[in-house]
Amino acid sequence: MTLITDAFPAALSYVTLDGNVYSGDTPFQVVDAIRADSFMTEAKDLDTYMHGAALRFSVTNKVIIRVDSPENFLHDLEAGGILKRVRP
């Protein structure tokens, strides 16, 4: 399991289906941590990553993921069962 966190608990933490935990103080930071750890993309910016990931999830998981903001992106990943919010 990969644990991405600082010495102080972050405001937001999510765990993936395979047990990876991503944390950040903002939704942007959480999505950027997921992007940085992703082997499925070479996206250098968050917008490109979210669009590519949303396309993959729509095909593999049959869910629609909004990409208009990191907040909506995380919400839809959670609603689709791809991530689960955990309380720090």
pLDDT value of position 10: 65
- Phi, psi dihedrals of residue 20, rounded to the nearest 5°: -75, 140
Tokens encoding 9: 């608990």
Q: What is the phi-psi region of residue 62: left when phi exceeds 0, alpha when psi lies from -120 to 50, beta otherwise?
A: left
Count of beta carbons in the 10 Å neighbourhood of residue 68? 9
Indicate the pTM of the whole model.
0.83
Complete edge-to-edge strand list for the sheet that includes strand 21-24 = 3-4, 21-24, 12-16, 83-86
pLDDT tens digits for range 25-55: 999 999 999 999 987 777 889 999 999 999 9
* SS3 state of residue 57: helix
Strand pairing partners for 24? Answer: 12
